[in-house]
Amino acid sequence: MSTQTQIAPPLVRYDVVDGVANIVINRPEAFNCYDWDTTELLRAYFRRAIADDRVQGMVLGGEGKAFIVGADLDFFVNSIEARELWRIVSAVEYVHDILLTVDHSPKPIVARVGGLALGGGFEFALACDYVVASPAATFGFPETSVGVFPCSGGTQRTSRLIGVGLAKWLILTGKVLSARQALNMGLIHQIVPADQLDATCRAIALGGKCPPRNLQRTPELAALERFFEQNRVDELYAGTADTLGDAALARAMKSVASKAPIALRVAERLIEAGSRMSVDEGSKMETAHVMQIFETEDARRGLKFRLNGGLGQPAFAGR
């Protein structure tokens, strides 16, 4: 009796079609979170496309309902439990290397976002030259709700696009943005219907026009920006910052109070310091704080809580 060997689908699909390299993370069952093998393939494919004379531009996407939802939580929890934090530092350094390759690519790279772009997925999108989304896309940095901070460029690239105050609001609260909100904040370039996403991204990768990012400072955003610029994270966490009776500011401050305090303080320092240096320097600064945050009890609690499907917020210890 003959047996058939099941061939596992590739973690990342790569092809070149008429001048465009398509790089697609293919882990839809895991919402395209990336593990070590996935990142190795991503780095290899970006470098291949940059070196390939046939390639004029690239499109980065994710299979299924998500773009990328960040790194594999199993890896973080297992490394913490094994007391092998050096593995996490090495993995973060590796992702930074990929994103700096994307940053410095001489060929345009378009992020094709058809669904969730959270954590590391948002960081990948922000490193690309263009971000084109479907109406169903969502964007956010949930890291402080699990005891860590966005450590693959999130504290660095965000402030360069929307300023320190709004970057602090976004990262310290873990606010999840709709595609329309992300567009109005100048974090993405364009929203198109889902059935036009592939053609639009392809055209831009080949040198077509794309609307520029455009931060629309509504009165609500301007108030949030001032509030988070003028108040320190400890005041926000303690609930003592003056909201001037603004209900939206009070809600934002309450959201900060539910996050991990050490992660909040480190994120604030990185956002503010990073705004005064290059992305390359900021990436090194972020990496230098990875060991510090992942060795906290809050990181261990938060990551295990989320990995085990916990709802709401874990009880952080502040240590």
Listed in sequence order, the residues at least 6 apart from 261 whose beta carbon sits closer than 8 Å to its beta carbon are 237, 298, 316, 318
**103-131 pLDDT per residue, tens:** 999 999 999 999 999 999 999 999 999 99
Question: Which residues is 22 bridged to in the sheet?
Answer: 15, 59
- Burial label, 52 (beta-carbon count in 10 A; 0-12, 13-18, 19+): middle
Mean pLDDT over 149-174 rounds to: 97
Residue 152 CA to residue 121 CA, distance in Å, equals 10
pLDDT at 305: 87
Tokens of 168: 């602090």
Question: What element of type H or E holds 21?
Answer: strand 20-25
Contact 264, 172 (CB under 8 A): yes
**279-305 pLDDT per residue, tens:** 999 999 999 999 999 999 999 999 998
**236-274 pLDDT per residue, tens:** 999 999 999 999 999 999 999 999 999 999 999 999 999
Mean pLDDT over 64-70 rounds to: 94
Does CATH number 3.90.226.10 belong to domain 12-307? yes
pLDDT at 4: 56
| Percent of the chain whose pLDDT exceeds 90 | 91
Judged against a pLDDT cut of 70, whether residue 210 lies above it is answered with: yes
Q: Coil, strand or helix: which one is 7?
A: coil
**How far is C-alpha 228 from the chain's CA centre?**
20
Mean pLDDT over 188-193 rounds to: 98
Mean pLDDT over 31-60 rounds to: 96
Q: Whole-model pTM? A: 0.94
Domain boundaries, the chain: 12-307
The residues annotated as belonging to the active site are: 123, 143
Judged against a pLDDT cut of 80, whether residue 218 lies above it is answered with: yes
